[in-house]
Each structure stands twice: as structure tokens, then as C-alpha cells.
A and B are shown apart, each in its own frame.
Chain A
Amino acid sequence: MEKSGSVDSLGSKQSSSRQPSVDSLSSSSTSRSDRSSQAKPPSAISSDSVSVSDSPLSPEQLRSNIRNKPVPKVFRDSHKDEPQLLTKETVQDMAKDVTYICPFIGALRGTLTVTNYRLFFKCMDRDAGTVLDIPLGVLSRVEKIGAATSRGEVSYGIICKDIRNLRFVHKQPEDTLKKSIFENLMKYAFPVSNGLPLFACEYDQVFPENGWKVYDALAEYKRQGLPNESWRISKVNDHYELCDTYPSTLVVPVTIPDEELKRVSAFRAKGRIPVLSWIHPESQATITRCSQPMVGVNGKRSKEDEKLLQAIMDANAQSHKLFIFDVRPSVNAAANKMKGGGYESEDAYQNAELVFLDIHNLHVMRESLRKLKEVVYPNIDEAHWLSNLESTHWLEHIKSILAGALRIADKVESGKTSVVVHCSDGWDRTAQLTSLAMLMLDAHYRTIRGFQVLLEKEWLSFGHRFQLRIGHGDKNHTDADRSPVFLQFIDCVWQMTRQFPAAFEFNEYFLITILDHLYSCLFGTFMCNSEQQRLKEELPKKTVSLWSLINSQLEEFSNPLYVNYSSHVLFPVVSMRHLELWVGYYIRWNPRMRPQEPLHQRYKELLAKRAELQKRVEELQREVANRAASSSERAGSPTRSITPVQTFV
């Protein structure tokens, strides 16, 4: 019900930071190269980001909340002309008389500041409230458009990963030796390409909680009841020797010794062998994940691999069958044989049933998001909104992912059958499906901390290549490895929260904040491609975790309607009739998109009311008891009440 509109509420006071943001590059340039555009507002970090998000609280409220908390520096006071800097943030360049061409409001003149973390534009003439405050990590591409005009003005287009584009015009410095602010911007926006550190490695804000401690693989497996008589924890990958993109802690069937695992790893792409992700607490049916088998054109087989899958099946006494979900379309899976990959043949794997889930690859998804951005940004074609949306296929892809996850969850829950999930490498679509299925099956992952564990486990520790898919600090915006895989996953989660508004402990703002910091490069959480790399880079020491921020102010991120049903499996209806475009995320830069009335806020009011009444009732009860006692003592002196308690409600 609660639709949140992000964008800073138009309505709020003038002073509140408007984020009129966005403006578009000329559309031609956009379509040309904006392949990796992803949605994301970096801002979540800054005060405007707060206002931008769909938080159920009003920006003012949030801001004032924040001020009272020891988290402060992250949130900036946008009322000032200059950005309030984070720790270790320094101004690199500043230019006056820059024109920001806002697609919604028009040209705005103001001051542009570039720090090692953000781009900050403050409008100085009309619409003086307008502020753009964008972490540089959000920028995907910065480029000069056309030649300088006769007045010596040059325009720059910026394509952002969070579904918006910006366009600035400014005068070229007369001193040709001096770098223009945009040249500086490019330097700091793409530090990796320029041999600079990412800002996350400098940022050293201290939060009350250390988010790097959120996930402990052993503790999580223990929660699932592992190890048990069928499953053991293997140290074979302790030093990432078996597989450098896997976590060090793996759960495998007890019947398979480490030696055999090593042989299996030769047969699975990138050495990503089948290991356990989740086990059903009652039926012991499991979700295991891996990469494709290296079958090749000749139909190679591996005895150890077959044995491992048999062992996975045997570990579940409830079923004599094993389902292998190959996430890819069958054509793609077959095509992979040419490259040495492929899929399990039914001959080799007795008792296993192979199912293709028909989800397209990351290039298709990237293209779909690119089209989506064209449809939603900057303006919507009102007459053809739905058919345009349909032509992007974005929701169709969301549907196919959710449908795949639903099949997995249903097989495990209703069929009590163990499943193996893989795509080609087992780090993109596989992560989407296992984590969504686990979200459907296990209520723990629907809590705020549980969700963090889910991300840490299925995405980060199992080597979803965030660095590559997002391209942190890398100017190579056409990189074919970029893709909105994680965004799609979060979108799917949001779809589920829409269908089950009381089943998730977190709210929409939580999801948006995660996406904002996916790009912001403020936190170390989404840096690097694997657990091994993160360890090597000493990220937990050198950077702050996003969960530090979030867990220090859980209130902001929690859904008041949450009801914790511990053993409640969610089967969403995967139908276009229920899927919606996440307007609170994709369309939040449009100033017409204003926050709608927050249901959550009303709920909080009611909660406060109840607390207050409860207190009164209790106090009255006590009072009555006291009175009764005392009046019986001094019996015979009854005072008629003059002012009866006012209790009419």
C-alpha cells in the first residue's frame, strides 16, 4: 500500500534539499553508450539521499532523527552551500557559474564542487534550494558533448548507474594549462582507472556496531542445524585452493572426502563444486549450488561428480530423486558445450531430473535495463506507458526469475526433494535463485539481520563478482561484464514485499539504501569479486561495512507491519497481474513522483497511541488499587470526586 515516492518531496519546505537531479544527456548519446546504467542513488548517504529515498519517514523527521544519533557525519546538511564533508573527504575542485541542465526544471546556474567522494552542485540563482549531491561511485560515464560554443562553453554529460543522467555546461578555463573541473571529476570518479584508491578505503567513520561481524558462516550453518549426520563442514577450501571464488567454509555430504571434492572441482566450471546452501529443517531437503559441469561436445563424465550428486540425494531420506535446475534457457546450455561446458545428462545422473528455468543471461538483462531507463527517464510517455514498459521486458525477466525461485522453493517445501541449482559459472543467476528461494522458505532471511546474512552468504561469500558487474571506479563503461544482476534480485525482493506486506522485517527504504550503496563506494561491503579478494585487500580492516550504518539505526529500516511467523513459507503469485514496476526506485528522480502518504508512519502513530493508553490504564489500575487500600484504612472519609479523571476517548 505504501508507495513511497522518493524524490525529495516537492512539498517539503523550500529549504529541504531538492534533488531535482537529473537531467538527461541528449538522448542519442544516452542510448549510445549507457549500457551499464543502473539504478541507484548514491545519495542515500547524504541528507538528500535521505529525502530522495522512499523512506516512510519524512525527510525532516529522518534528518532530525539522525542528528540526535551518533552517526552524524554521514548525513549532511544540505542547507549549506557547500557539502558537509565526511571524514577523510576533501574538496578537490570547485567551479562557479556552472549550469546544470535539469530535464524537469530547466537550466540552473550554480556552484559545482568535486571532492574525492562526491559531486555537489548547489544552485545559486532561481530555485535556490536545488542541490545535487551524488557520490562519484554512481557515475558510469562522464564525457564532453560537442565542441565549445562561441562563448567558450563546453557541455558535459554524465550517465549515472542509478537511472538518471546529468548534464552540465560551463566555461572552459582560459588558461589552457589549467584542468577544467570536469577533467578533475573524471579523475576522481574513476579512481581505479587513475591509480587512486576508492573512497571506501579512506572513509573511517566509526559506528556503534561493526557490520563486518554480521555474518559468520559457521554460526549460520549452525542455525540451520549443520553439521549433522549427513552433512559436514569441509576445510578443503580453507586457503581457496579448491576454488578461489568460493568461501572458505563449505558444507558437503559426509560421505564425500575432500580428495574426491578436489576431483569434482576439475569437472565443474571454475572449480565451483556442488555445495550446500540451505537445508530444510524438517524434511532435510537441501538447496545446493554449483557451476555447470564441463561436459563439452564429447559428453565427458566424472565419476566423482556423479557420486557427489548421488550423495546429495541420499542425504535426504524423503525422496529418491534429485532435481537439477539449470537456470539457463536450454539453447544456451547446449551452446555452452562448444565451450567445454554444458549440462548434466540424464544417463550419467540416474535419478536426477534436469529442468531448464529459461532465464536469460546478463547481456540480455543489461539491455533490458537500458531500455527501461529510456522509458522512465526523464519523462514518461503517458499514452503508452504500459506498452512501453512491456517492450523493455524488464518485468518479464523479473517474473522468470521469481518463477524459477518459486519452483525451487516448491520442490523443496512441497516435494521434499533436494535440488541442485546452477547456471554457467554459478555466481549470477544461481545466486539470484538460491537466495530468493531461501527467502521464500526461511523466515529468518526476512528479518533485517537475516537478510544481511543472506546477502553476505549467497552473494558475497559465494563470489558474485560485484566489482566486475558494477565496475566500481572503473571508467570502462562499455565493459560487457557489467550487468544489473543484483538490482534484479533486490527488485524481486521488493515484489515479494508487495505481495506479503507483513512478512518482512525491513522496509522499502532498506532495499533502496542497499542499492544506493551498491554504487556509492562509501562502504567496503560490495567491493571486490570474492571472499578471497576481500580478505586479501583486508576490506574488513580498511573499510566500513554498510551493515554498520544500517544496524546503527534499525528503526529507519524496519517495517512496522512485520509479523514474525517463524515457519511461514511464502509462495508469491508470479504473474504480471501482480508484478509492478518499482516506481519508488526507478522513477524517483522525477519531481512529479512525490511520496505518497506513508502507511508506516500512521502505524507508528497508532503504536505510540497504544503505548500511551496502556501506560494510562496501568497507572489507573495502580492508582485504584492504592486508593482502595488507603480508603479502607481511613474509612469514612470519602471524598467525592470533583474532577473525575477525564477519560473520554
Chain B
Amino acid sequence: MFSVKPLKPTFKSYLPPVQTDLKKSPQLTIRKLEAKLLPGEIVVNEANFVRKCIGTESSQDDLWGKLICTNFKVSFITHNSLPQQNFKYVHRLLGEHDVPLACVEQVVTVNDAKGKQKVLGSNKKLKFNPTELILYCKDFRILRFRFDQAGPESAKKVCLAIAHYSQPADPQLLFGFEYAGSRYYNSSGERVNGVDPGGGHQTPMFDRPSDWDREIKRTGASEWRVCSINEGYLVSPSLPECFVVPASLADQDLKQYACSFTGQRIPLWCWSHPNGSALVRMSSISDPQQQRKLDQRISSAITKSHPQRSDVLKSDLDKQLPNIQEVQAALAKLRQVCVIEPFEESEEKWLSSLESSRWMDYVRAFLRHAVEIVYMLEGKHTSVILLEEEDRDLSCVVSCLVQLMLDPHCRSLLGFQGLVQREWVMAGHRFLDRCNHLRKNDKEESPLFLLFLDCVWQLLNQYPSAFEFTETYLTVLSDSVWIPVFSTFLFNCPKQRAEHSRDFARSKSIPLGQEQVLRFPPVWDWSQQFSPKDQTLFNNPLYVGKSATYVQNGAVKTFKRTKQKSYSSTLRGLPLALRNGQLSDLDTLPRRNSLVLRLPTAAEPQGLLLPQLLPSHLTLWRLYFLRWVPEARIPRGGPVTAFHKLSLLVDEIHTLQSHLRHYSTSNSSFTLTSTPSGLPPPAPSPAPSPLPPGPGLALSPPSNTPHRPQSLSRSPPDHHQQRQGRMYFRAPLSTPAGPGASIPTSSSCPAPDYLSSSFPFSPVGNLCRRGLLGTPLSKLLSGARIWLSTETLANETL
């Protein structure tokens, strides 16, 4: 390694003035390399003249700069820019080369002269001077830094600091506290506690009875009520302060029941089907003497809340699904084959390694379980209780998946965020333990949330127009788990959040308002992380929202009918899937339109979404798992190229729509007598949620919608906002004659060269396995000698 010391940037050439070999040297001015710090962030240690490895093959592209450890992140600051990267997805909290400490899975130091290697833990000692630092990250990245030119002491110190600070001993040492605390200090009076009360997002947080009330109304669950007996977390430490229970159960009874449940967790209502069947989650009954009686009480209360008084089915998740350790083990194996093992070696056994990791099996198991419950709710009109020992892990996954399959509202962006907020955050999924932010107990660590997102991705992959968001959104959401500033992922339950933030505020003498809690931004406040422009990468151009048009034989028709049909046809796949003979009445299922008929607010073209469960139809979530692998990157290819094309088209549609709006306002003085025949007056769809119309939403059923001029008043008149667009990729504008009318044309617009199957992420510099060479192409041409000679020849002849 020492022998291949870089020819280009040397210790000297790193110092600015004379840098003949760096192309951009002339303009280079002396700038100090300084970490960009967030409020509350402090530098712990740093080392200069560190080399970040970019290519694994040669040091040619490596970057020189300063490696900094703060109380939040590992930061690498450089003047050099990455080769071949003209696209940047700017993160507001993290620089291009930064990794939050919470995302660091393992810190490995190497001294290659001595042939030593050590995994660093908190407060460990390091007896050799490291020449190299390798960071294995939770998000599958692997970063390598070399200290050939750095001072040995400072190199050692920075490594130790990273190891130490990535394993905080106490939750309050997680950066989120400092961050929220100092934001409070810096905030102006308009903001409460440093955070916009609304948070700039409209996701219901379900920390208030009103959010639950709205949810009850939305699902038409009239026999259910909001219950606030847990105010101050007096009844159960892990439940939220308010939740929903059967209307027939009185607070008094509930309090009494609570003590018999594990964790004093009273059964929680999750969702109600329009036919009245409810989905309920429940922890096990710890008191064996009470078991039967209590079981009956709960069941009969749920039965009473069902309009048809139909039976209740209990589904014991612990018995039927993998446990958290198994899921954790599966991810570890998957990581091994995806990023740790050398690419070519793992190629040969790729499929069987994938299988033996069991990750895909588990994804399928959860999806299948959800489908079975969907069948009970939708097909059998039965209420279902999800039973789990603690009701804080598997239930979260299953409950969410069931709702995603049944309730189109959950497939909108806000609906989805509300869903996660309800079923994970408020229901007390132990994010702190499962993420193992404190490295206290490795046995508690489990990537259940990632597993859930993978399941959602499978649904999205099979039904690309059913979700308002994209796979980029899902990926970014899963990455946010490792940025420890969001209330969403920092705590085990709402109570813990309240206590810790109160304690922290007291200890730091932060004067809090009446609420007595420090407010952390929720992850749903995406402006914390991304610019509005970058957030548009979340928008799925294909999304069919509440109503849309489709084309049949060249004619535009309303979407609704057929959509219904095609999705219900989906349902008919079910009997075969479950088929063991018993489910004979299933054929009649698709004909019921109960979702639409009984629940106007939730009525959407596609009700039910059932995934195909054959193992041949579930695929690896390549964007997430392979995005850092340079060999697996398809340059100018991958699903994003289709996404690009679709985005342009949808953008054109938006622009045209804004033109129409423009005409309608600017020409309102004219009476237009005839609307062109067959042209539908686009009407706003009555959106149940306050979310801005998605691209699909804007498409309205053409023919049978009546004119609704009054809706004009509801339309936001600002064209500028429109011009900003909901699509990340914008169609170029051509300006035809006519005032102010510019009509976009996407038809011939090629996709930009920076698109790849990893977009918007880049494997460059983010996956540096040791001792691994090259890109697939170069390896493929591994008559490399030949290849080089050809190149040379070709160059000579030029």
C-alpha cells in the first residue's frame, strides 16, 4: 500500500499555491477546511491530510482533506470534488462525505505495515498507529480513509473519537438533544421550542385526541372512541396518551384490565374496514387467571363494535412470523453478500446466498401474513386481533401492511406518514433499542422498520401507480433512521420522549414553555433535510390518486370502473394463493364494492392491493441494497430512466393545466360558449386529506363530472408555485407564439447522463471494500493486459 503512494496529490501539492497536476489549480484560493456545524454540534477531534479512498483500484481519484469527528457525524472536508459526478443530492444536515455517527456500525482500524487490524469500541485502546480507517455503516456503505500523510497521533485520536462517540452511553448524549436544545436558544419568538409548531408538514402526529377523531371519522368506525386514560402515561408506560378503544368499554374497565396485559397495554384499535370489521392489536395477557375472562371481554367488546356483530379472529404473530433476532440475522447475511464479499466471488452463488440470508423469505412471510388478514377483514367481514407478546414489533409491520393493502389513503404521502406515526411511533415501537443507538444490547437490535419498508417497496414494485411516493422516498426514509435528530426514531415510546426531553431541558436549564417538553423535529418535516426541489424526488409521476383517466381504444374514459375491476381481479388471485379448498365463496368477493359504497371519503379507484406472493415475483430492493456497489451500477439505465420520462410527461401536463388556469383567470371577461366537445372540464377531486394534489390527482374523470365553477375559488392562484413543479425532472419549455404561453415538450428530451440505477445516490467513494478491484466492465475485460494494450494502441494511432 505504501508503495503505491499517490503521484498526484502529495503532502506538498495539497498546500495550495503550486498545483500543476490539479487541473483547476489556478483559481484555487487558500480556504481553510472547516467543518460545517449544526446548532449544538461541536468538533471533538480532527486529523489533517487524510485521504479518502474513492476507487478501490488505484489511489488516482482519492480525495485529500480533513477528517473530523463531531458529536454528530464523521465529516470529511475537501477542496477536491468527486470525479464524474455532476449531480448532487444536497442534504441539509450532512455534507457530501459525511456520515452520522449513529449510522456507523463498525469502526475498524488497520495498520498495514504491522499487519494489524482492530475493531474499535467505546473506550477501547489502540496500541498501534492506524494507517487506515474503515467505517462500516448501517446503511450498507463502507468508507475508507488513509492516514499515510496524517500525523500518527491525530489519526489515532480521531479514530478513537469516532469509536467512542458513535456509542453514546446515554440517550441524552444523542445529538438530537443538543440540536433541539440549541435550536431553542436560537429560535425567534415565533417558533415554539425552536420548531415550527406545524413543523412545516401536515402529517398528523396522533398525539392529540383530535387526530384520532379524524381517523375514526375517516374510516367510519362509529363504534369506537378515543380514550385518554393514559394521560400522563399513568396507566401504561409504552402506550400513547390517547388511543382508540371499543365504545362499549368504559374507562373504568379499561384501567382495570390494563394491569393484566403485558406492559399494561390495553388493546389498540388500528383501523376499520368500511364493512365494519376492525383491526386491533393487543399484547399478551400476563395474568393467567385473567386470561380467559379478559379474552372474552375484549372479544365481545370488539364484536359489539362490529355492525354485523361478527366474530373476532386472533392472529398470533409470534407463532407465525420470524422474531426480531431472525430478522436481524437475515440482514447481516444480506449485508455480507451485498456489500462485504468481493463482487465477483459472490456472483457465482448469488442466488443461493440470497436465499440463505432468508431476507426475502421474511419479506414474503410478512406480506403473506398481511394478505391473510386482509382476506379475513375484507372477505370474511371478521374483525382481527393481532396478538404479540409485547405488541411493539411484529404488530407494527403487519398492521401497516394490512392498512396499505386495504386503504388507498395510506398510499398517499401524508397517509403513509400518518400510518407510520400511528402504528410505529405512537404505538411504541422501540426505535431506540431496535436501532441500537446506544449499543447497549445487540440482541435488541433489529431492522424491522427496514423490513417493513422493503415490504412496501414490493407493493410499490408490483403496483407502480398505487403510491404517491417513490422508492427514493422509501430509501431516504430508511436512511433518516440513522440521523439522530428526529423525534420519530429516537425513542422507544412517547413517554420516554417526554421524560428525556424534560430531563434534558431541566439539566441544561432550557426554559420550556407550557408544554414542558423539548420539541424535536419529526422526520416528516422534510425541509429539515432537503430543499423543496429535492423533495420532489419523492413524487411518483404515475400515482393515480383519487380519480384519474385512462385510455381505452384511444378514447379517454374515467378510471374508476375499470380500475375497480382490475384490482378486484387481483382479489380473485387470492383463493388460489390460499387455496386449500376451503375458501369457496371467494369468487363472489370481487363484486362487492363495499369500500366505495360505504366509505365515500376513502373511496378511491383502487381499493384493494394484493401483492403477488410467489417467490419468483418478489425481488431484491436493488436501489436500497445495491446503491453503493459500483459494480452493480447501471450507467444511464435502471428504473430511473423510465421515471425520468414519466416525470417529463407529467410535468408537461401540469404546465398545460396551469396554462388553462391562466386563461381562465385572465380571460374571465369573455364568455366562452362552447367548450370543445368531449373535453372534460377538469374538476377538483374531493380530496379527503388536505394534501396537495398529486400528479395523478389532478387528472379528473372527463365526461361525467359536472362543471363546478365554484371550485375555482379553491384553486391556488399562484402560478409561480405551479411553475416550481411537482416533478423533479422538468420538461424543457419551448415558447411558441402567443403571449405567455410556453408549451413544454418532452418527447425528444434525452435522460441526463448522470442517471444510473443508483440515482440519486452514488457509489463513488461510498463503497470501498479492501483489496477489491475495479468496475464490472474493467473486470469483465479482464484480459486486462490485452485491454490496456489495445487502449494504448488506439491512443497511439490517434
Contacts and interface: CB of A to CB of B under 8 A. Distances in A.
B456 to A, nearest CB: 15
A320 B352 contact: no
A633 B787 CA distance: 76
Interface stretch (B69-77, B517-525, B773-781): B773-781
B614 A382 contact: yes
Contacts of B633: 573
Interface string B350-364: 111011100011001
Contacts of A573: 631-634, 637, 757, 776
Interface string B601-633: 000000000001011110110100010010111
A372 B62 CA distance: 45
Contact of A649 (B573, B629, B698): B698
B628 to A, nearest CB: 13
Interface stretch (A146-154, A164-172, A587-595): A587-595
Interface in A592-649: 592-594, 596-597, 599, 601-610, 612-617, 619-621, 623-625, 627, 631, 638-649
B797 A320 contact: yes
B684 to A, nearest CB: 6
A50 B679 CA distance: 32
Interface stretch (B146-154, B446-454, B653-661): B653-661
A11 B573 contact: yes
B646 A583 contact: no
Given A576-B347, A648-B661, A615 B465 contact: no
A321 B790 contact: yes
A602 B787 CA distance: 45
A623 B572 contact: no
B573 A577 contact: no
A390 interface: yes
Interface in A255-275: none
B661 A647 contact: yes
Contact of B653 (A383, A416, A606): A606
B614 A380 contact: yes
A10 to B, nearest CB: 5
Contacts of B672: 620, 623, 641, 643-645
B113 interface: no
A641 B590 contact: no
A524 B750 CA distance: 38
B622 A638 contact: no
Contact of B566 (A11, A570, A607, A639): A11
A575 interface: yes
A602 B544 contact: yes
Contacts of B571: 11
A645 B673 CA distance: 8
Contacts of A410: 777, 780-781
A28 interface: no
Given A502-B751, A639-B671, A648-B661, A318 B797 contact: yes
B671 A597 contact: no
Interface residues of B, number: 124
B462 A596 contact: yes
B641 interface: yes
Interface in B753-785: 757, 776-777, 780-781, 783
Contact of A385 (B615, B634, B712): B615
Contact of A575 (B638, B743, B776, B787): B776
B714 interface: yes
B390 interface: no
A587 B780 CA distance: 31
B355 A648 contact: no
B704 interface: no
Interface stretch (A37-45, A61-69, A195-203, A221-229): A61-69
A646 B797 contact: no
A648 B669 CA distance: 17
Interface stretch (A1-9, A110-118, A288-296): A1-9
B708 interface: yes
Interface string A295-313: 0000000000000000000
B780 A649 contact: no
Of A353, A602, A607, most buried by chain B (CB within 10 Å of CB) is A602
Interface residues of A, number: 107
B507 interface: no
Contact of A384 (B355, B541, B559, B679): B355
A319 interface: yes
Q: In terms of DSSP, what is the predominant structure of the interface of chain A?
A: loop
Contacts of B645: 502, 561, 563
Contacts of A355: 783, 786
Interface stretch (B118-126, B221-229, B545-553): B545-553
Contacts of B679: 612, 615-616
B683 interface: yes
Interface in A333-362: 353, 355
B441 interface: no
Contacts of B748: 563-564
Contact of A606 (B614, B632, B649): B649
B676 A615 contact: yes
B6 interface: no
A590 B614 CA distance: 10
Interface string B457-469: 0000111111000
Contacts of A1: 461, 464, 639, 642
A500 B573 CA distance: 30
A64 B669 contact: no
Contacts of A320: 793, 797
Contacts of B461: 1, 3
A353 B786 CA distance: 8
Contacts of B616: 376, 380, 385, 581, 583, 587
A500 B640 CA distance: 9
B466 A597 contact: yes
A380 B615 contact: yes
B642 A648 contact: no
A599 B699 CA distance: 16
Interface in B528-573: 541-542, 544, 548-554, 556, 559, 565-566, 568-573
Contacts of B187: none
Given A355-B783, A403-B780, A648-B715, A319 B751 contact: no
A609 B572 CA distance: 31
B624 to A, nearest CB: 13
Contacts of B617: 3, 583, 593, 596
A634 to B, nearest CB: 13
Contacts of A603: 542, 646, 649
B668 interface: yes
A384 B698 CA distance: 45
Contact of B542 (A318, A599, A649): A599
A292 B225 CA distance: 81
A649 B682 contact: yes
Of B636, B638, B642, B667, most buried by chain A (CB within 10 Å of CB) is B642
Contacts of B653: 606, 609-610, 613
B576 A386 contact: no
> Nearest 4 A-B pairs (CB), nearest first?
A11-B569, A647-B664, A646-B681, A386-B355
28 contacts: A5-B612, A9-B566, A11-B573, A61-B552, A382-B615, A387-B355, A407-B781, A499-B634, A502-B641, A568-B750, A572-B634, A573-B631, A577-B350, A577-B629, A592-B614, A594-B573, A596-B612, A603-B649, A604-B550, A610-B656, A616-B656, A620-B660, A631-B670, A643-B671, A644-B709, A646-B682, A647-B661, A648-B708
Interface of A: 1-3, 5, 9-12, 58, 61, 64-65, 68, 104, 317-321, 353, 355, 376, 380, 382-387, 389-390, 395, 403, 406-407, 410-411, 415-417, 499-503, 561, 563-565, 568, 570-578, 580-581, 583, 587, 590-594, 596-597, 599, 601-610, 612-617, 619-621, 623-625, 627, 631, 638-649
Given A638-B669, A646-B708, A648-B715, 8 more contacts: A382-B614, A387-B352, A500-B637, A602-B464, A606-B650, A612-B702, A617-B660, A643-B672
